[in-house]
Amino acid sequence: MADPAILLDVAAIQATYSQTIRALNGVSLSVRKGKILAVLGSNGAGKTTTLRAISNLLPAERGQVTSGSITFEGDSVLTRKPADLVRAGLVQVLEGRHCFKSLNVEENLVSGGLGRSATRAQIASDLEFVYQTFPRLKEKRRVSAGLISGGEQQMTAIGRALMSRPRLLVLDEPSMGLAPMIIRDIFRALKRLNRESGLSILVAEQNSTVALQYADFATVVENGRTVLSGTAAELRSREDIKAFYLGEADSLSTGRPAA
Ligand code: ATP
């Protein structure tokens, strides 16, 4: 019997691109309801591939999950269309803060609510919710998304995902290329959403310091496989993990950590 406290379960998945390039070779992780899971790993470790698999987006990249299972609320995601998964509440913010550059901020946000046949009143109240979460976006609501800062684009991409009313929000490296203060604002907003709305979050990050500060649990991926999982507090206390698995070699320690 599936554990009802587990929202998303990824069990020993293997995945390839173009049927030959093995990208994942045993990734396992789970997101508990109402919790934040950080998926950590250096460049090329397999985080993006894992996230694509979770939203069943690998086929669009000529990739496939070749073994293992991924379930969202007990049902396999691998037989469902990505758009159906969004409607079921599994919503992903892709790497690279994708926005429609020719649309303004508000039009970008509204586009996130279109898939779920919401009324105008629902869209208006969801917009207000996004503006409360990211007040900067309200100031920029009429500005073209191509003209706002990188941080504001990331907030717009997250806001658009929120407009789909996620139950699990999946984010791929939201900190990438952003200044520390903006990263902090974004993670604080995510933490507030988690605390106040019970939103479950899976966030893939190379920036383990910031991710471990806000997450409840963490999973470390290296060379396409899970090498370590635990509470964020446990992983925070182990500086050696950063040195060996996360490409932060100057963060001290000798001796490889026991997994
Ligand atoms: P990054 O931080 O650079 O996004 P990552 O941890 O997300 O790294 P992945 O992008 O999942 O890692 O890459 C895992 C492996 O799969 C790498 O060896 C990468 O070269 C390969 N890979 C990723 N995308 C593709 C693709 N579309 N086609 C072929 N190989 C790919």
pLDDT tens for each residue of 28-44: 999 999 999 999 999 99
pLDDT at position 255, please?
39
Asked if residue 253 and residue 195 are part of one domain, the reply reads yes
SS percent in the chain: helix, strand, coil, step 5: 40, 25, 35
Cα 174 to Cα 66, 97, 116, 181, 202: the distances in Å are 28, 7, 25, 13, 11
- Rounded distance, CA 136 to CA 116, Å? 26
Whether ligand 1 lies within 6 angstroms of the CB of 140 is answered as no
Q: Give the Å distance between the CA of 84 and the centre of ligand 1.
A: 25
Single out the residue in 165, 193, 216 at which a domain terminates.
Answer: 165
Q: Are 42 and 222 in contact (CB under 8 A)?
A: yes
The answer to whether residues 168 and 202 touch, using CB atoms and an 8 Å cutoff, is yes
Whose C-alpha lies nearest to ligand 1, atom 28?
A: 17
pLDDT of residue 247: 63
Does pTM surpass 0.75? yes
Taking only the tens place, the pLDDT of each residue in 222-238 is 999 999 999 999 998 88
For residue 221, the ligand 1 atom closest to its alpha carbon is 6
Whether 68 and 125 map to the same domain: the answer is no
116/128 same-domain check: yes
Number of CB atoms found within 10 A of residue 128's CB: 11
User: What residues of the chain score a pLDDT lower than 50?
Assistant: 249-259
The C-alpha atoms of residue 16 and residue 39 are separated, in whole angstroms, by 19
State residue 243's pLDDT score: 72
Q: For residues 171 and 249, state if they share a domain.
A: yes
Amino acid residing at 169: L
* Residue 161 shares a structural domain with residue 177: no
CA of 41 to the centre of ligand 1 (A): 12
C-alpha 238 to ligand 1 mean position (Å): 27
* Domain encompassing residue 28: 1-89+167-259
CATH of the domain at 66: 3.40.50.300
Q: How many domains does the chain have?
A: 2
